[in-house]
Each structure stands twice: as structure tokens, then as C-alpha cells.
Structure 1
């Protein structure tokens, strides 16, 4: 009997531990491409206001016209599961089939374009703000991929300023995000414990700063005037290519070939870390699908093998070079790996992209998975970056973390202290 009790307690502890694990986004398989989020005035950052429409689309390149299903789960600020039941944060149902898809038209690569809008007939409304994970799975219940998104309320105001670093060792490279939260209508009780913030650079949730607490209060304002703790490396402007015209070269594409699919060879990129900063307009790591000859971009844009070539002569040791950007949610995988070519003495990658305009950069990845975004591109305080500050609050007696406001800032208006 005692052994049975111990076993039951141990099993419960293990189950509770597993249940409390942080939500992790599942990377899609090779045949799933071009996952896009749209909501409000955001393009790729999956951030919408409560009551707004969220749009998600992706392509399946296997040609099977598979059925896909989705479910939506609510999470706390730290991406552990919240205590809310499904009917508390959803009006309607999830775990239903995506009904809207179209097959490709006049393309060499066949694919099915899936399109999901929330709210819809089954999932009628998201009722609570907070962190969410949407998971897509197949007929057999196997997870295909999952992605995070955030729903917010517009209750507090957030004023954001971008400053140069005070630390002289980082003054030429870093950008510091300072902000103030103004809450005239909602009393924020015990803000150092109950108010949490998320500071995001260029729509990349994976590099967000999450550990800031208010330093002091002035009236109804919470003030955050950190330096080192709220600093991001400015990095460098993203590189880009534009292949909306599939048959022609341009200032980013030096050669076009047609085999089974079109292949675009980009001009060689170089190490920019030891060169002066040069302003080059970008879209901060994002991408836009487009085909200059198409009426329906979603199903008429072609898939193209894009060949990148990097001239880089510093020793890597046991590290790797990868191509990096929001085209795959800033994910490092086999499709982003830059292989060394002894013949050309350069690092090369060939990856399938849907026609459009893409930002990318090269990063150095250590064996432990840590990423150095600036070793190839360099880091400069002048670089134009976008910043988003999200404010979370859990009041006394509440069972979940609400997202009660957001602020936006750009380093184009960076100032000294």
C-alpha cells in the first residue's frame, strides 16, 4: 500500500512538472513553408488587440491536399500553462479543421495554400488577453507545427524612448529602450511583483527582454530608465533580395537558371563587421510575398531555390554560420546552414523561398545553440531598429496575466542621455 502511495505521488509530481513546462514552438517539417501572421497593423509579429481579426496562412508543398486542424492554448507571461479553462478564454470551439485552402496556379512547384482567420464560424471569439500558442496537427493527431501569438487590451499608455548606451564600452554599439507606463484608469497594485514587461526588437520574440521591474513611480506612471539591463545590440541593417520578377536578374540577383524549379544566385556577401556603418533601408528582418506577374500572390507566386554566397575568412572553430531572418521565424535548422565550399573559398546555402522581398543576415551559432547575430554583420548604434514594449498585469485574485498595453519605438529617433 505504501509503495502504491509513493508511486502515485511520484507520478503526480512528474505529471505536474511536465504540465508546467514552458511552451515551445514546434518547427514545421520540410514540406510546410511561408508561414505568415497578420493582425491589426502588424505583419509578422503575431500581436493583435482583443476583438481584432488574426490571419494565419501557410503552404504545404507535398501536393496531397491534406487536412489540418488547429487548437489554441492560453499561457502565462512566462509561457507556462495558465489556470484558465478553454471556455474561459474561447467563445466557440477549436480542434477543428481548416476549411479554406487553394491549390497553386501556373507554378512549377505545386502546393496548397491554407488560410485561417480567427474569429470564424467555430472559433467565434478570443475572450481574454494574454499569451497564446496555436498548434496545427494532421488527421492522425500528429503535431505539424505550432506558433506563439499575443492578444492585448488597450488600457494603459506606454511611452517609449530609444537612447544610446551610457556604458562607454558599448556606446558605439548598443541601443537602450526606456519607457514609462501611464495607468490613469486602472490601479496597478504592487507593480514590482504584479506588472511584467516584454521588450521586443524587430518582431523577434526569441531575443526579447523579460526581467525588468519599475524603478520608481511618479503619480500614475511607472518609470523604467534602465541602461545595461534594457540594452540591445544595434546590429546592422539586414541584407535583402527581391525576386518578384522570376526570370530576370537585378541588383541582388546575379544569375538565373531554370532546372526543375527556378534557381536564383545572389551576389556574394562580405564580412561587414570591420566596415563603417552604411544606411541601407530594410524591413527589419521581415518578408513580403509577391510576384510582379500575378493577380493572386498567395497561389501564383513561384517557389525558387535561392543561392546565397558569403565571403568570410575568420576561423569558425566548432561553430557554424547560418542565414537568419523572419522568413522562418528566426529558426536555426538544416535549411539555414551555410556549407563551406573549398573551390570558391566561401560559405554557401541553397534554400527554397516563395517569390518576394526578403530580409536576412548571417549569424554564428555555437554548439550550445547560442547565436551571435553581429559577428559577420557588425554592430552599430546608428542602425534602424523597431522596438515593441508589452505590459502584463495580474491583479489580486486574478488567475492569468493580462496584456494591458503596448508601446512602439524606433531607433531613427535615438538620442543621447
Structure 2
């Protein structure tokens, strides 16, 4: 056997193990309200290396099932790095999640799980992209989530401006970024530094692989016209189910069955209307039950009934209800159904009690999102949150460090 013949199977195995992109896997129906939590608030999954954070979720079966987690470090493109576990993890993973409680005084039973990092079993010791995978006791993958750990080694300035091209000036928001690495030595920074831009922490419309437009001393400058633009969208709708027994300005009526049913007011497509500002959480949600002490286990679930009037979209596209509460998942569970009798789109989704932001997302049968023809239009005035994450890999390095992060809000958008 020749040397090349011997190496071929090995190289194929390496490509399979380390070349596959780690996408997020959506959970089954019984797993709800998956979120990253810090200081008891749902947050975007970007954390300083060494900071304490948690991942939490509910299991509607409520049978105290055993769940386990693993941690995998990924490169900038979300393929696993070539590092061994002990190179980025101090300790061992594949641990059972031991912190869980059953719901208390709720119509919908569930078991609430939370896992903190770092913990007594493991500590992540390198910055970078990571994916956490949750398995059941039969080692079947239940769901996975991405998160990022960063260091602050460079100065990052991010500004939000209106689009410069006239065909999008009313609808898009443009990122302008400056990375100042000061006296830090970066090898070939125009090639080895990479940036990812996010809108409200949504992985599905993130912008990757944008090179610096030019350098200015120790600064890398990004001032593109189109490469760093996002569709502005519109302000999110907000559901208030903090009191499941009463109606309010978002819930038209409440009915009771095995659990509560919250019927929302009809939403009308806003794409042809003037922009109107009203506060939202930029897609986030807050778990809250009035008169409850422990929101995590005393907040109930209800069937939330959505109704949308959007005649322009009939028989043309799929429309989904998305937000951080369901990780912007475009699945059948979140897909509106057209009712021919009343000409409206309808859907009922099981959602945990509190304040929940949502939006309508238009996509084709391949889940390619149609941002231009959004149900509620696109407006440059829309208030959005924009994180930018800076990666760096030296010439001989084996993984991508995250050396900086910036956050900006389009509320301060400039021309």
C-alpha cells in the first residue's frame, strides 16, 4: 500500500469530523422557552470569557427527564476546530443537568432546567464560537444552541447610518465599523481579522466575511455602501400575558380549557403605512407572572392565537411567527395557516407567560427569507440593536479568537 493510499481514508475522516458546519438544531414540541440567561434576564448569547451565564429551558412532559450537554468549539465559519477538548475546556463535559424544578401551581405542567457556566465540572478557557448540544438519556440530540465568548483586546467603534444608495435609503440601515488594535501585534490583519454583524442577535440574517475597506494607521475601517446593510424591518409586536385571566391592549379575549387561551387582536400588514414608533424588546421576551414569586416555575403557558390580515401575500409565500421566544424558527409549528372562510392567516402557539416580542417573517418553501417584501415593511427609523463581533486567527494559530465586540443601536442613526 502506498503512503498516499494509506492517508486518503484518514483525510476523509478528518474532513467529516472537522469540516461540517454546526447549525442550530430546533427542539421538539415538548421543549419550550430555550434561552441564555444572565442576571436573571434573557440575553443575546455573547459573553465575556469567564463571565457567569446560564442556559435554561422547559420540558412540557414534566417528568424530570435526564438531559446531558456537550460543548464544542467552532471556527469563525462554525466548523469544529481541530483543538482537543482539554485545550479549550478545563474539566469535562457530557454532564447531566442536575439543576431542575417542576412547575408549581400551573395548569401546564413542566420541568424547568438550567445549567450555569462556568461550573464545578468545567470552565471554558478560550474565547471563540461555541455550540452547546443537549442530549436525552439515550444520547439522542434534542437541540443545540450557538454562543460566543469574547475577550476585549482591541477597541471597536460601531456607528449606524442610513443607506447611501438611493434605492434603499428609506428601508435599510448601514453599519460602519472601526477596529483599533493599537500596539497589539496582529499578523496580516486585513486577512486574519474577520467580523460578524448581527441584527438583534438573529443568526439567520447575520453578515459574514466582510474585509476591511482600508487601513488608517492601526485602524481597520469598514465604510461600505451595500456590504454591511440590513433591512430595517419594523418594530416588533408585543404580547402581554403576564395576567392570563384578563384581556389588555394586546389580548382581545381570554378563554379557558385545560389551559388558558389568549386570543390576540388582529394584526394588519403595515408595509404600506407610515412608520410609527412604539417601544419593543428588539425580539426578546420577559417571563413574568403577576403575583408570583418564582417566575421560572410559577409562570404558566397558554395557547396564544395569532390572526393576520395580509391579502397581498395570499398563495405567494409562507408566513411565520418568529422571535427570540422560538429562536426565529421557521417550522410548521410557527407557520401561519390561511383560512379561506374569513380571508385571514391564523395560528395558535404555546407560549410561556410574560411579555413576548414577535414579528412576521416571509419565506419561500426553502426557508429563504424575503426581506424586501416584509409583511410590515422596512423603515430606516426602526429601532434595532446591532452587535459586531471581531475574530482573529494568527498565521499559525489553530482556532479563531474573539478579540473584541461592539454594540450600537439604530435609535442614534445618522445620515
Q: TM-score range by the shorter chain?
A: over 0.9
Distance 2:167 2:158 in 1: 24
The match for 1:289 is: 287
1:14-29 equivalence runs, <5 A: 14-19=12-17, 20-29=19-28
Distance 1:47 1:332 in 2: 23
Q: Offset at 1:185? A: 3.7
Q: Runs of 5+ in structure 2 lacking a partner?
A: none
- Output one character per residue of 1:194-245: Cα deviation in whole Å (capped at 9) or x when no partner: 0000111111122111121112222221111111000001111111111101
Match of 2:249 among 245, 248, 251: 251
Could you tell which deviates more after superposition, 217-226 or 142-151? 217-226
The match for 1:108 is: 107
- Output one character per residue of 1:22-59: Cα deviation in whole Å (capped at 9) or x when no partner: 11111111100001102479833111101101211100
Q: Runs of 5+ in structure 1 lacking a partner?
A: none
Judge conservation of contact 1:249–1:255 (CA < 8 Å) in 2. yes
Is 1:51 the counterpart of 2:50? The answer is yes
Distance 1:42 1:390 in 2: 21
Where 2:204 maps in the other structure, the secondary structure is: strand
The match for 1:378 is: 377
The match for 1:161 is: 159
Distance 1:337 1:92 in 2: 42
1:384-403 equivalence runs, <5 A: 384-403=383-402
Q: Offset at 1:371? A: 1.2
The match for 1:225 is: 223
Q: Offset at 1:187? A: 1.6
Q: Offset at 1:96? A: 0.9
Is 1:352 the counterpart of 2:350? The answer is yes
Judge conservation of contact 2:37–2:43 (CA < 8 Å) in 1. yes
Distance 2:110 2:298 in 1: 10
1:204-223 equivalence runs, <5 A: 204-223=202-221
Where 1:88 maps in the other structure, the secondary structure is: helix
Distance 1:214 1:264 in 2: 49
Judge conservation of contact 1:40–1:48 (CA < 8 Å) in 2. no
- May I ask how many residue pairs the two structures share in their alignment? 413
Give the TM-score, by structure 2 length.
0.96
The match for 2:263 is: 265
1:10-409 equivalence runs, <5 A: 11-19=9-17, 20-39=19-38, 43-123=42-122, 125-317=123-315, 319-373=317-371, 374-409=373-408
Distance 1:247 1:24 in 2: 39
Distance 2:365 2:40 in 1: 37
Q: Give the superposed CA RMSD.
A: 1.7
- Output one character per residue of 1:360-406: Cα deviation in whole Å (capped at 9) or x when no partner: 11121101210124521100111111101110001132111000000
Change (3 A) 1:397 1:14: closer
Judge conservation of contact 2:387–2:407 (CA < 8 Å) in 1. yes
Change (3 A) 1:190 1:41: farther
Give the TM-score, by structure 1 length.
0.96
Judge conservation of contact 1:318–1:367 (CA < 8 Å) in 2. no
Judge conservation of contact 1:136–1:146 (CA < 8 Å) in 2. yes
Distance 2:183 2:44 in 1: 28
Judge conservation of contact 2:156–2:404 (CA < 8 Å) in 1. yes
Where 1:314 maps in the other structure, the secondary structure is: helix
Could you tell which deviates more after superposition, 208-217 or 245-254? 208-217
- Output one character per residue of 1:256-284: Cα deviation in whole Å (capped at 9) or x when no partner: 00001100000000010000000011111
Change (3 A) 1:10 1:220: closer
